């Protein structure tokens, strides 16, 4: 791999065509490359640790479809399972044995999950978990944290304000204030704000929701003491704790961030890996809460394509390969060595690499932040400026400095060595250029 890209002519042409038929030319905003320079690369195929765009350019992929491709692109076991299922049926709108088997695997693996229900996306999983939490507690208020993303459901699109607690400020046009008036936002890593909120509002709170490890606005690794305080306060005030594991579930390990922090949440949300890269989501938890769902209880939730057999087949094949834990140990060691090499060669610069499990995040600042307010806007600009140069050198990293990178089992030492050399070179150039 020489890192030389000859042309992006076809990507540019397709991007122009897309802009005429799709808003912004994309079906998800970050793909538009608005935060970074250059043309969005239109992807043609993936193979192992590599992406190939329509112009034939080859990239080492650290996006991994935003996390779910923990085994890499086109894993033979997953592909075989999907092909086998497609041959006998892609969708039925009825229960299949596959969804029962996947549910049995997750319930048997994740101790807090006594019952689970599949949906079609992480957003849908969060929406449904919040609905059942409100139905179970008979309360309306939901607490979320600045820097955590829980999908684009209306009442979760709430921005943080300048006070300790912010009520009902929509962060997107098209979301009425009446939809978010029962959603409260607190800063992360602020025990005083957390305790004050529960003292004043704890008896009205249905649930607190937090990402397992916030990874949609940087990689904001929380202190164990802070997470355990949140758990104890929810228990004390009769509120539920929802751990959003859409990214961290089966990515940090078989038991995700719940095990990382030693927590027992009441409800958990999943996506990404449990569908082996296919569109899927799930929410689960305590049986007494989940039994509030229809057809057993008064909380309505439904989905025509929930438990889609192709996604279930891909998920079972993926989780089956992860079940013995060996891949997690290998991934964690790969990530540790990769991050250590970057830090050892960049240690004299204002640069940090956060790493946990098989996730890492490049940030141009001295201290690793634990809250969104601690992220340097200048540092994000550094990342965004160097993005195209990294891409041109054959390394595919997310098109935003706020996004994290993922390792896969398919990444080889040769590819990781090349990627590390590229990143070290480009980070040094960026740092010296703007110092």
Residue 287 lies in a domain: yes
| pLDDT for res 167 | 57
Catalytic residues: 149, 244, 272
pLDDT tens digits along 21-73: 999 999 998 899 999 988 999 999 999 999 999 999 999 999 999 999 999 99
| pLDDT for res 88 | 97
Q: Structural domain of residue 107, as residue ranges? A: 76-322
For 161-166, what is the mean pLDDT?
Answer: 43
| pLDDT for res 307 | 95
pLDDT tens digits along 356-393: 999 999 999 999 999 999 999 999 999 999 999 999 99
Residue 229 lies in a domain: yes
Q: What are phi and psi of 134, to 5 degrees?
A: -65, -40
For 140-151, what is the mean pLDDT?
Answer: 93
pLDDT tens digits along 211-227: 999 999 999 999 999 99
Cβ(75)–Cβ(321) under 8 Å? Answer: yes
Residue 239 lies in a domain: yes
Exposure of 262 by Cβ count < 10 A (0-12 exposed, 13-18 middle, 19+ buried)?
A: exposed
pLDDT tens digits along 282-299: 999 999 999 999 999 999
Residue 139 lies in a domain: yes
Cβ(404)–Cβ(218) under 8 Å? Answer: yes
| pLDDT for res 347 | 83
C-alpha distance from residue 237 to each of 54, 73, 253 (Å): 55, 45, 30
Residue 2 lies in a domain: no
Residue 279 lies in a domain: yes
Residue 232 lies in a domain: yes
| pLDDT for res 6 | 60
Between 176 and 235, where is the model more confident? Answer: 235
For 149-174, what is the mean pLDDT?
Answer: 69
| pLDDT for res 140 | 96
| pLDDT for res 190 | 96
Residue 240 lies in a domain: yes
Computed over every residue of the chain, the mean pLDDT equals 93
Both tokens of 294, joined, read 């229809």
- Whether the per-residue pLDDT at 2 is higher than 50: the answer is no
pLDDT more than 90, % of the chain: 87
For 233-259, what is the mean pLDDT?
Answer: 97
- Whether the per-residue pLDDT at 1 is higher than 60: the answer is no
pLDDT tens digits along 175-203: 778 778 899 999 999 999 999 999 999 99
Reported as a pLDDT band with limits 50, 70 and 90, residue 169 is low
C-alpha distance from residue 93 to each of 177, 304, 305 (Å): 36, 6, 6
pLDDT more than 70, % of the chain: 96
Structural domains in the chain (count): 1
Q: How many CA atoms lie within 13 A of 60 on its CB side?
A: 26
What contacts 20, CB < 8 A, 6 or more positions away? Answer: none
CATH number of the domain that 217 lies in?
Answer: 3.40.640.10
Between 433 and 245, where is the model more confident? Answer: 245
- Whether the per-residue pLDDT at 161 is higher than 70: the answer is no
- Whether the per-residue pLDDT at 127 is higher than 80: the answer is yes
What contacts 254, CB < 8 A, 6 or more positions away? Answer: 109, 110, 322, 323, 325, 328
Between 172 and 170, where is the model more confident? Answer: 172
- Whether the per-residue pLDDT at 164 is higher than 90: the answer is no
């Amino acid at each position: 791999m020489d890192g030389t890209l000859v042309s992006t002519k076809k990507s540019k042409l397709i991007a122009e065509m897309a802009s005429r038929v799709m808003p912004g030319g994309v079906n998800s905003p970050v793909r538009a490359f608005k935060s970074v320079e250059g043309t969005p690369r239109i992807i043609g195929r993936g193979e192992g640790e590599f992406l190939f765009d329509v112009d034939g350019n080859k990239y080492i992929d650290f996006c991994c479809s935003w996390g779910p491709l923990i085994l890499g692109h086109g894993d033979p076991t997953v592909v075989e399972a999907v092909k086998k299922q497609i041959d006998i049926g892609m969708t039925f709108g009825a229960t299949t044995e596959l969804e029962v088997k996947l549910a049995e695997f997750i319930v048997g693996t994740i101790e807090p999950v006594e019952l689970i229900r599949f949906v079609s996306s992480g957003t849908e999983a969060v929406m449904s978990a919040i609905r059942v939490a409100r139905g179970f507690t008979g309360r309306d208020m939901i607490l979320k944290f600045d820097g955590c993303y829980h999908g684009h459901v209306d009442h979760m699109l709430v921005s943080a304000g300048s006070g300790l607690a912010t009520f009902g400020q929509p962060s997107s046009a098209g979301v009425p204030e009446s939809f978010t008036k029962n959603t409260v936002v607190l800063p992360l890593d602020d025990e005083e704000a957390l305790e004050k909120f529960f003292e004043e509002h704890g008896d009205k709170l249905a649930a607190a929701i937090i990402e397992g490890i916030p990874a949609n606005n940087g990689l904001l690794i929380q202190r164990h003491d802070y997470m355990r305080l949140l758990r104890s306060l929810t228990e004390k005030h009769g509120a539920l704790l929802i751990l959003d594991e859409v990214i961290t579930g089966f990515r940090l390990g078989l038991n995700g961030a719940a095990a990382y922090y030693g927590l027992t949440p009441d409800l958990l949300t999943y996506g990404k890996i449990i569908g082996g890269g296919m569109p899927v989501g799930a929410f689960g938890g305590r049986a007494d809460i989940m039994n509030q769902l229809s057809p057993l209880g008064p909380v309505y939730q439904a989905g025509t394509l929930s438990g889609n057999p192709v996604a279930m087949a891909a998920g079972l094949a993926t989780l089956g390969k992860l079940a013995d834990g060996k891949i997690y140990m290998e991934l964690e060691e790969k990530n540790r060595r990769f991050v250590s090499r970057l830090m050892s060669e960049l240690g004299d610069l204002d640069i940090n690499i956060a790493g946990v499990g098989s996730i890492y995040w490049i940030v141009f600042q001295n201290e690793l932040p634990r809250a969104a307010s601690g992220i340097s806007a200048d540092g994000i600009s550094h990342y965004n400026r160097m993005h195209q140069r990294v891409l041109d050198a054959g390394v595919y990293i997310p098109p935003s400095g706020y996004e994290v990178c993922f390792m896969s089992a398919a990444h080889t030492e040769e590819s990781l060595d090349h990627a590390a050399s590229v990143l070290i070179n480009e980070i040094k150039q960026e740092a010296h250029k703007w110092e």
